[in-house]
Amino acid sequence: MTNAPAIETHGLVKSYGRVEAVRALNLCVEPNCITAFLGCNGAGKSTTIKMLLGMIAPSAGEGTVLGKRIGDPNESREARGKISYVAENKPLYGYMSVEQTIRFAGSFYRDWRDETAKELLYRYGLPLERKVRLLSKGMRTKLALLLAFARRPELLILDEPSEGLDPVGIEELLQTLVGQCAEGTTVFFSSHQIAEVERIADRVCILDKGRLMVDASLDHLRESYRRIDLVFPTTPCEPDFRMNGIESVRGAGCQLSVFASGNVEAVIERAHDLRATSIEVAPVGLRDIFLETVKEN
Amino acid sequence: MLWYKAWLETRTRFLVSLGFLVIILTFFVHHAESILPREPKASTYELMFFAHSYLAGLWMLCVILLGMGGLLRERAAGVSSFTLALPVSRARLAAVRITVGVMQSIALAIVPWAAILFVSAIAGRPFFVSQASFYVLLLVTGGMVYFALAILVSSIVDGEYTAPAVAYGAAILVGIICGSVSKLRPFLDLWRFITGDNHYNKTTHLLSGPIPWFGIFACLCVAALMFLASVRVIQRREF
Amino acid sequence: MFFKLNPATGQPLYLQLMQQIRHAAETGALRDGDQLPGIRTLAEELVVSPNTIAKAYSELEHEGLLELRQGSGAFLCVKRRTRSLADHVHGARRRIRELIERLRDDGLLDEEIRRAFEAELLHPTEIVRKP
């Protein structure tokens, strides 16, 4: 098991005319981890993933996936042999039947596992003979996921995998991702479902307007981010609390709410110095970290 | 299984075209032969010349339709990311699609002619297999230019209906150019080449003369260049 | 094995798991020599990253509470020290119960009491209230 990053980019840029969809991206996805890729719509997540897979050429910068350069078509093709990718719209050929689709996809990969495919087919209840264009949205999603999970790839890239699934399906999906990671697959997925991400992700990357704002382990985020609610005898001065590690400060009358990614002790000390009457420190969930990060940008 | 995929994608178009060509041509030939006198045999031979002209025109319409599709069409349908995520090069994807199309185009020339020969033989007016082969050869080699044109257009032009419209438009343009050029240099007229007009002996009503290897080679070169160009275009495209 | 990991508490999940395993050992839910589920099994059951389970097991092995046997799994090693710890915990809970009753008598709501405990544990500083 190698310790080289599964995905690594240096200064990756993609511009369309004057619009920069991705700017100076320095991504580093560790192997054998579950990394979540968060961002609003249009933040550049799909563009980044497409650059990693060789579907789009970067405007500048470079990157490697599983050690293979993304800018070289041959190396990119080699890497794709070990990558399982499910795009956001779960693309499948409408004119193929479920069985034909499975046979087609399986024929390209050495890591394809027939028994797993059969098991998933049974578990998802997919009708073998039906044409894909006649499947319901939920079944199409399951088929697209089956094609990814009936393999043992080195890297699994999923773009909004839970879209179109009911809660039971989502739970199964998360369990499958966890199982894949346990077998040594690196999982890299983007999602709007922050609750899911919080449960299974080891690391989180937050992309906003093409820029990587946060790239940290979820444990580190849990331990460092705090919301500190302060009450003062008189209206406090917000700039007093603008220090290193403070993401945002909001005031309302005598109250101040400080959102900090670190340096919490300094905030408390300052609050003491300014004679705060109440200091409360509370943990911050990933949703709030995400919302504050994109708001501040 | 790329070959299988290319076959599935074009199967309906191919089989419908095949059925269409076979039915129209055999009906035409059968009906004409029931009217035409048996002697002189030259009248049958002349009929075959006309039948081939019709076949050539319809064949062209069909192969241009066969040339549609590919990654651009998949992108419009939202499935290009599935194909592009496969561990195959874009050149290989294009090459498989082109090869399947070429084989189908050849079949669309051979089978209707075989049907014509069959219908004629039954009617007691057997036609020479060598002549039929000559016609097929001219159609397939000269006509490959049109198929290659369709492939090139489908690599450049987006749109389920725009692409075939542009392809047919381009084919018409080629026809017009050939027509105007033919006044100066008749051998440059692609249409005359395909229909066998260049070799048609007005006395015997049969194709005669040596096989135009140079013309065949030139047409195939032009087609090959267009195939290569379409591969290059797809390689550089962003999806 | 009934473990429940809460992603919203501000405490890394592996620490929560470690605490819950220790707690199970203290209360006797897990006994000396009991086998804990494999990393993959537990990860799928709790729907958390296997790295979380692996880290918790690894840290507990460092502490001496778990023994990781290659190929077999994770086994509990409850030492005498842990047993007396269980007594300590028992006593602590009694004292906490009394404290909570006193705070309730003072007029504090349960939610306020919980937040105060959490705040102190997360960040042991003074919480000054208006007199």
Q: How far is B234 from chain A (nearest CA, A)?
A: 11
Q: How far is A219 from chain C (nearest CA, A)?
A: 5
Strand A7-16 with A34-39, pairing = unpaired
Residue C127 has pLDDT above 60, yes or no: no
pLDDT average per 10 residues of sequence, chain B (239 residues): 95 96 94 83 86 94 95 92 96 96 97 94 86 93 96 92 94 88 78 87 83 92 96 93
Residue A10 has pLDDT above 80, yes or no: yes
**For residue C36, which amino acid is it?**
L
Reported confidence tier of residue C124, pLDDT bands at 50, 70, 90: low
Beta-bridge partners for A204: A36, A216
- Select the residue of A56, A57, A91 nearest B82 (Cβ to Cβ): A91
**Mean pLDDT over all residues of chain A?**
92
- Which residues 168-207 of B have a C-beta within 8 angstroms of A? none
Q: Do C130 and A277 touch (CB under 8 A)?
A: yes
Lowest-confidence segment of A84-88, A165-169, B186-190, C105-109 by average pLDDT: B186-190
State residue B79's pLDDT score: 94
B9 touches chain A (CB under 8 A): yes
Candidates C25, C1, C10, C3; CA nearest to C77 is C25
State residue A214's pLDDT score: 92
State residue C81's pLDDT score: 57
**Chain center to CA of A19:** 23
- Select the residue of A53, A94, A103 nearest B1 (Cβ to Cβ): A103
Cα separation, B125 vs B107, in Å, equals 24
Residue C130 has pLDDT above 50, yes or no: no
B129 touches chain A (CB under 8 A): no
Q: Do B88 and A54 touch (CB under 8 A)?
A: no
pTM of the model: 0.86
Instruction: Count structural domains, chain B.
Output: 1
**Rounded mean pLDDT, C42-59:** 95
State residue B234's pLDDT score: 95
State residue A246's pLDDT score: 87
Quote the ipTM score: 0.89
Q: Do B238 and A56 touch (CB under 8 A)?
A: yes
Q: Which of A33, A203, A222, A228 to mutate to test the interface with C (most CBs of C within 10 A)?
A: A222
Residue with the two structure tokens 């209707």: B112
Are chains A and B in touch, 3+ Cβ pairs below 8 Å? Answer: yes
CA A76, B71, A42, A176 torsion: positive or negative?
negative
Identify the domain containing residue B89 by its residue range.
2-236
pLDDT, tens digit, 9 for 90 and up, residues A36-86: 999 998 889 999 999 999 999 999 999 999 999 999 999 999 999 999 999
**Rounded mean pLDDT, A230-245:** 83
State residue C131's pLDDT score: 44
Residue with the two structure tokens 């405990």: C117
Please tell me which residue, A121 or A2, carries the higher pLDDT value.
A121
Q: How far is B98 from chain A (nearest CA, A)?
A: 19
Residue C47 has pLDDT above 60, yes or no: yes
State residue C8's pLDDT score: 83
